[in-house]
Every structure is written in structure tokens, then in C-alpha cells.
Structure 1
Amino acid sequence: MTESLEIATKEYQAGIAAFERGQYRESVDRLQKASALTTGNSRLGGKIQIWLVTAYEAAGQRTEAIALCEQLKQHPDSETSKQGKRLLYIMQAPQLKRPTEWMTQIPDLAAIADNESQVRIGSGNNKPKQPPQPEFVDLSQVNTQDNRFIWVSLIAIGLTLIGLLWIA
């Protein structure tokens, strides 16, 4: 029994690690193996099943995730039962519609072949970049009329300095 518990713990940890790397299918497989090696009513079994719900959802297996949450609502461990109810509530909540202008489109990089990206990297265009050339300003376009703001600010600064000297 302890050997299967050790294997279950290793599969559980590997499932969490796969989930954190974004490998959701592998995470589901590992967590299913870990769940099969433990009793579902134990505290560890509950933790594994909670992670399995999250992995199911991330892998796009929503119906399996909801079905497992329904089972977890009756789990003997009160913390696991609460988490199961919370996850079920979240998954059954209505999806909000977001305007398209709120969202950023991320291009699909899977269409680029691996060798194509390597060809671009090693294409031999290793010339050093030239520093950017300075832009010259056309002085005939510059407004050179007198700006009264400068004179007002200089007078204000002068009066402030005189006032400070008089107080000191």
C-alpha cells in the first residue's frame, strides 16, 4: 500500500509540474494515474481530484471537470468539498461577452515551421546595425514669435526671490 502511495505522490507532483508548464494533456494523464492509485475519499485523493478538475478545464474537457466537481461536493474532507463547490460554481457561471476592442489578437506561431525560423536566424545577415541618423529640423517651420509666458515667469521668480530676501 505504501508503494502505491509513493507512486501516487510522484504522479501527483509530476501532474502539477506538467500543469505549470502548460502541458495540460500530460497533466490530466498523470493526475488520473495518481487518482487511480489513491482512495478517492482520502485527503490526498481529494487534492489530486481538485487538481484534476483544473487540468480537465485547462485541457478543454469541461464536461469531465463538471462531473468530477459534482462528485467532490460529497467528499468527506470538508476543505475538498468546499473547493469542489467553488469550482463548480465558477465553471457553471455564465460567460460574459467582451467587446472585441478589449481583446488583443495573438498571432498563431504554430504555422511557422521550425526550420524556417532557423533559416531566418542563420541567413547570413549579420551586418552590424548602423546607428540612427539624426533628424534635422527645418528652422523655417519653428515658431520664433515672442512668448510672454517666459517674461511672466521670470518676473514671478524675481519677485519671489526679492520676497525671500526681504523676509530673511
Structure 2
Amino acid sequence: MTEVANLETARIYYREGQAYVERGAYRQAITQLQAAATLTQASSPLGGEVRLWLVIAYEATQQQGLAIDLCRQLSQHPSMAVRKQGKRLLYILEAPPLSRHPEWCSQIPDLSRLSDNPSQDDWGANTAKPRQSPAPRPLAPPVEPGLVETKDNQFVWVALGVATLILVGLLWIH
């Protein structure tokens, strides 16, 4: 096979591997990316990119040793961009794990013991007491229309007059 054909085949494997990583199918991604890595030179820009994605797939499948080893190689890569990414990934992979308080995390229930028959599961079982709705508030007594004061206090006319004076003053100054 010619070098151009190898490079084109490597690009196809690389794109497929990327797609698998983006979908979360890391084992398939590793297969595709390893095939692309065998067809490219480790020192080429494409070879570096392939191996960076391979680090991500290794880490996602808990193969930290392989991921760290590959990152160490990439941190010496001739391409500045690949070398920089390799060093960043290596820093992340070698970082000590953070301690977390239990109250900061949500516990995900184990659903593997659920049956296919919903009647056998106790999803609907509610051990908490039902909340009682609060007592309704008494309504305000109705207001008689004769007791409401409807006399106009001229406020709107005073406000319009003041606004008009301000506008005239601004136009006169300008």
C-alpha cells in the first residue's frame, strides 16, 4: 500500500475513532484509533492528534497506565500544539484525586435489580406521609360601591403640567 493510501485510510480510522469517542463508545474508539496510529508516524501532526484522542479513550476505559505512558510520549512531540496538549493531559491524569464530602454528591440508585414488570417493583410505594394542604384563607369581605371614593384628585394633570414645563425648559436651553 502506498504512503498516500495509508494516510487516507488512517484519516478514515481517525474520524471514526473521534465519532466513537464523542458518542461514548470508547472501546470501539480505541480499536479505530489504534488502527489509525499504526498507519501514521508518531512524530507527524496527524499521528499526534490520533494519539491524543487515544489518550482520551484510554482514560475513559480506566486504562490510566496506557494513557499516562502515551501522554509522556506526546509531551516530547515535535508539533508544539500536540506537545502542549500532551503536557496538559498528563498534568490532569497525574493530578491527585480530590476528596469530596458525601453531601456534595448525588447517589445514583442501582437499577440493575429492577424487573421488567412494573407491578413487582415498589416504585409507587411512598413511605412518606402525604402533605396536608394548608387551611384555606378567609376571603376579604366584599366592598360596597358606594363607599369607594371616586373623586379625581387632579394628580395626572399636575404631573403632565410639570413634565411639559421641564420639556419646554430643556428645549429653550438647548
Q: State the TM-score, normalized to the length of structure 2.
A: 0.67
Structure exhibiting the larger radius of gyration computed from Cα positions: 2
CA deviations 1:14-56 (Å, max 9, x no partner) are 1111111111111111111110110110000000011111111
Secondary structure (helix, strand or coil) at the match of 1:27 reads: helix
Q: What's the counterpart of residue 88 of structure 2?
A: 86
Q: Structure 2 regions of 5+ residues with no counterpart? A: 119-132, 142-148, 160-174
Please tell me the residue identity of whatever aligns with 1:7.
Answer: T
Give the match for residue 164 of structure 1: 155
The answer for the alignment partner of 2:26 in structure 1 is: 24
Aligned to 1:10: 12
Residue of structure 2 in register with 1:133 after alignment:
none
Matches within 5 A, 1:63-74: 63-74=65-76
Describe the shift of the 1:110–1:40 C-alpha distance in structure 2 as closer, same or farther (beyond 3 A).
farther
Shift of 1:8: 0.8
Aligned match of 1:99 in 98, 101, 104?
101
Question: Who is 2:64 aligned against?
Answer: 62
TM-score if structure 1 supplies the norm length?
Answer: 0.69
The letter for the 2-side match of 1:167 is V
- 1:103 Cα deviation after fit: 1.2
Q: For residue 167 of structure 1, report the CA deviation from its aligned partner.
A: 2.1
Cα deviation for residue 166 of structure 1 reads 6.0
How many residue pairs match? The answer is 135
Q: Letter of the aligned partner of 1:164 in structure 2?
A: F
- Greater percentage in helix: 1
* Residues 108/85 of structure 1: CA separation in 2 closer, same or farther (3 Å cut): same
